[in-house]
């Protein structure tokens, strides 16, 4: 059972840990040679890879796009990095099947949607990813995704279809959604979710799922950093079972040995770190007036621009959300574009609500024309057929005690750019978590562990 500690003993623990924190941080920075650098700290060689221009030439026909053809060439501007990271959304940029294990944990330490798993079929008419999307006109279709719940039993068999569109200034609808209502035995055309609205019982919004369009933001490079940890497992979960979608084999993996960019990545540092560009995105008021997170920071792996860490800042300038990922090269044929999120953890700091996704059993798929016509339309859901039953997972979190840790705050990095004014009770839980290596929640009365 997940530990629940009363507030006053926890506060004493926080004060003790707080006194020791500077020494621990100093030791970590010293052993890893101060992992982050601002622009002022970069060497001439590091600067050669970056284009710091803020007024880059524009596309002759689409003025909000850069003039240089995608996927660009080095040196890269911050804006070009923003377009490159568009490749990596929660659904792959190629045709595939996979199963997503997912759940949330509340501020009281209770699992929400426990044991959930959903099978996904995704169809892209092109394998060119963002390059193909940029060639579309606003309102034209990017891809279709069909899903079917396989767990828990109460939700088994329910299906949804998503149609993702290219957006623009006049066409702002990102997705169209259909679902089969089993009780009424008919397909319902759902009202699209507001991009900024929280998804019920989850620590994310539709924009976190769909991905954000680079042209809606202004971009700036903050510097470089090396990441050693993103998604972190509790000490109570030393292993996890994952399934290779190509071979169908289940494999027990030691969680401490899972790498940030997967086993095939060639650019790890000697200590196993991943070098990242750190870039800022600010919502453009002419595109996103009153956006719920007007400022975001991205840690982008320096070769693929895969986002390993995302921080979201509320209108008052304070850190409000953290998203962290572990990547896997799911589609080697696409090279650096073939990375996808194996694990993702979202943390809504104010509500202390977390959600995890595990994209397991991934298989690149070339759909036949007749399969596209059959599966990827709303009428298919009326049949209530089961999708590919070979797509399986054992990666769910079965109990609160095995849930992922809250993402590290990394409070020593870029102090002039990051405001971390967290509520005292959140700081207490984070400090206690770091001390015991698993999630901790407090209650108002004494409760034995």
Helices assigned H by DSSP within 166-218: 206-210
pLDDT at 2: 52
CB distance 234 to 403 below 8 Å: yes
Question: 281 falls in which pLDDT band (50, 70, 90)?
Answer: very high
Question: Cα separation of 59 and 250, whole Å?
Answer: 48
CATH class of 32-418: mainly beta
3-state secondary structure of 52: coil
Per-residue pLDDT, 447:
37
Looking at 81-85, 193-197, 217-221, 247-251, which range is the least confident one?
A: 193-197
pLDDT at 101: 97
Q: What per-residue string of b and e applies to 273-285 under the rule 16 or more CB within 10 Å gives b? A: bbbbbbbbbebee
Which of the four pLDDT bands, split at 50, 70 and 90, describes residue 387?
A: confident
Burial of 130 per CB tally in 10 Å (0-12, 13-18, 19+): buried
Residue 5 pLDDT: 47
**Using one digit for the tens of pLDDT, what is the confidence trace for 135-147?**
999 999 999 999 9
Measured CA to CA, the distance from residue 378 to residue 376 in angstroms comes to 7
How confident is residue 156, by pLDDT bands cut at 50, 70 and 90? confident
Q: What is the separation of C-alpha 150 from the centre of its chain, rounded to a whole number of angstroms?
A: 22
Using left for φ > 0, alpha for ψ between -120 and 50, and beta otherwise, residue 104 falls in: beta
pLDDT of 386: 83
Residue 31, SS3 per DSSP: helix
pLDDT of residue 210: 86
Q: What is the pLDDT of residues 77-92, one digit of tens each?
A: 999 999 999 999 999 9
Q: pLDDT tens, 52-71?
A: 988 889 999 999 999 999 99
> Which residues on adjacent β-strands are paired with residue 340?
328
State percent of the chain over pLDDT 90. 80
Compute the distance between CA of residue 438 and CA of residue 425 in angstroms, rounded to an integer.
17
| Alpha-helical runs (H) found in 266-394 | 369-375
Average pLDDT over residues 347-361: 97
In eight-state DSSP terms, residue 193 is P
pLDDT tier at 390, thresholds 50, 70, 90: confident
Q: How far apart are CA 385 and CA 375, in angstroms?
A: 10
How many other CB atoms sit within 10 Å of the CB of residue 36? Answer: 21
25 confidence band (pLDDT: 50, 70, 90): very low
**Binning pLDDT at 50, 70 and 90, where does residue 369 land?**
very high
* H helix intervals, 32-67: 44-47
Q: What is the pLDDT of residues 191-210, one digit of tens each?
A: 877 888 899 999 999 999 88
23 has pLDDT over 90? no
Mean pLDDT of 4-14: 43
Q: How far is it, in rounded angstroms, from Cα 69 to Cα 407?
A: 36
Q: Please provide the average confidence, as pLDDT, over all residues in the chain.
A: 90
Distance from first CA to last CA of the chain, Å, rounded?
A: 8
Residues 6+ apart with CB under 8 A from 131: 70, 71
The pLDDT value given to residue 32? 60
Q: What is the DSSP string of 225-288?
A: EEES-SS---TT--EEEEE-TTT--EEEEEGGG--TT-TT-S---TTS-EEEEEEEEEE-TTTS
């Amino acid at each position: 059972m997940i530990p629940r500690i009363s507030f006053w003993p926890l506060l004493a623990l926080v004060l003790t840990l707080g006194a020791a924190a500077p020494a621990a941080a100093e030791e970590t920075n010293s052993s890893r040679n101060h992992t982050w650098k601002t622009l002022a700290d970069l060497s001439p060689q590091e600067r050669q890879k970056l284009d710091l221009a803020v007024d880059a030439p524009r596309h002759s026909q689409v003025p909000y796009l850069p003039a240089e053809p995608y996927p660009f060439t080095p040196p890269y501007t911050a804006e070009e990095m923003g377009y490159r990271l568009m490749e990596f959304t929660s659904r792959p940029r190629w045709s595939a099947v996979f199963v997503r294990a997912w759940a949330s944990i509340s501020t009281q330490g209770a699992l929400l949607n426990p044991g959930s798993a959903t099978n996904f079929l995704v169809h892209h008419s092109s394998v060119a990813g963002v390059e193909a999307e940029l060639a579309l006109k606003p309102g034209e279709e990017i891809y279709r995704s069909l899903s079917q719940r396989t767990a828990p039993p109460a939700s088994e068999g329910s299906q949804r279809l998503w149609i993702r569109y290219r957006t623009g200034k006049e066409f702002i609808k990102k997705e169209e959604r259909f679902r089969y209502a089993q009780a009424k035995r008919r397909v319902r055309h759902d009202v699209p979710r507001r991009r900024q609205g929280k998804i019920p019982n989850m620590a994310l919004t539709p924009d976190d799922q769909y991905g954000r369009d680079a042209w809606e933001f202004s971009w700036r490079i903050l510097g470089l950093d090396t990441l050693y940890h993103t998604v972190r497992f509790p000490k109570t979960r030393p292993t996890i079972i994952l399934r290779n979608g190509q071979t169908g084999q289940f494999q027990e993996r030691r969680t401490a040995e899972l790498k940030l960019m997967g086993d095939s990545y060639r650019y790890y540092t000697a200590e196993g770190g991943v070098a990242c560009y750190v870039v800022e995105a600010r919502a453009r008021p002419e595109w996103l007036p009153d956006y719920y997170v007007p400022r975001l920071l991205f840690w982008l792996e320096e070769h693929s621009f895969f986002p390993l860490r995302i921080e979201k800042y509320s209108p008052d300038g304070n850190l409000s959300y953290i998203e962290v990922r572990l990547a896997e090269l799911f589609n080697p044929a696409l090279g650096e574009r073939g990375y996808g999120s194996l694990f993702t953890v979202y943390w809504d700091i104010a509500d202390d609500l977390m959600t995890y996704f595990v994209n397991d059993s991934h298989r690149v798929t070339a759909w036949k024309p007749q399969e596209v016509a059959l599966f990827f339309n709303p009428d298919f859901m009326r049949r209530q057929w089961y999708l590919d039953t070979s797509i399986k997972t054992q990666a769910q979190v079965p109990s609160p005690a095995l849930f992922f840790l809250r993402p590290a705050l990394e409070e020593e990095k870029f102090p002039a750019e990051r405001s971390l004014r967290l509520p005292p009770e959140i700081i207490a839980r984070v400090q206690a978590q770091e001390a015991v290596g698993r999630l901790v929640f407090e209650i108002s009365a004494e409760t034995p562990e």
